[in-house]
Amino acid sequence: MKMQKIIGLIAMACCSYFGSVHAENSHIAASPPYERHHYKKECKNFSEETKRFSDKLNDSNLKTFCEDFNDAQREQAMQMASQKGMNMTPDQAVEMVASKKK
């Protein structure tokens, strides 16, 4: 009988823990993945994918990406950063595209 109570308590604790983890993760998934664009009017009309990418940029590269790049340059930077085998960060991709622009 004691063993059944112990197993029952362990099962309740596990269910409680995993339920709270799931609730936390649900909250995270519901919020937008980007938050830094609200102050940049140039970034507001980007697609969800472009906003997610630009959220990974440092402030200097975010400014370049939003204000200085055209759509083709943004697409190029996003492709460079996502190519397998290139191991390029979003910041490095934006910097590389910007250096080609000059």
pTM score, two decimals?
0.62
pLDDT attached to residue 46:
86
11: left (phi over 0), alpha (psi -120 to 50) or beta: alpha
Q: Could you report the per-residue pLDDT of 34-76, keeping only the tens digit for each?
A: 565 555 677 778 888 998 898 899 989 998 998 899 999 999 9
d(CA 36, CA 54): 9
